[in-house]
Amino acid sequence: MSIVVDTSFVVALIDTDDAHHGAAARFFEATDQDFVTTPLALAEIDHFVGRVGGQSAQQVLWDNFDAGVFGLRWWADGLRDMIAIARERPDLGLTDASLIALAARLHTTRIATLDFRHFRTLATADGRPFTLLPADA
């Protein structure tokens, strides 16, 4: 089963000064499941990692994606799916909407995130709440 990855989780994982680094790192090391995200989230992750850690941190991030540590997924109707979700919940923005669409596509409720403000208020199309990791592990 795959785990959908939000920007906040990856930033905490890479930034050793982040208050959530320890929890993110322990969870990441303890799981053998695939971590996947969307191209929109990757762009956001790249931006925040660059701001927090500079070019050297970005290089580590790129190496991790290149090595398959984090997978990247997109599909033909991804844009349509993401926009439909964003229209229902305009407070999310397209990046978070893309992650919800990816979770639906992968039939998972598992999202690695520290963004509880948005993701705790969301549910799958059939009404199941998302499992936010590492908090709900």
- 16: burial class by Cβ within 10 Å (0-12, 13-18, 19+)? exposed
The pLDDT value recorded for residue 125 is 86
96 belongs to an annotated ligand binding site: yes
Cβ of 112: how many Cβ atoms within 10 Å?
29
- Residues in the chain predicted with pLDDT less than 70, given as ranges, are none
The pLDDT value recorded for residue 102 is 98
pTM of the model: 0.95
Distance of CA 60 to the CA centre of its chain: 17
The pLDDT value recorded for residue 1 is 86
Beta partners for residue 34, in sequence order: 2
The pLDDT value recorded for residue 109 is 98
What CATH number does the domain containing 89 carry?
A: 3.40.50.1010
The pLDDT value recorded for residue 40 is 98
The pLDDT value recorded for residue 100 is 97
Domains: count for the chain? 1
126 belongs to an annotated ligand binding site: no
Structural domain for 45, as ranges: 2-133
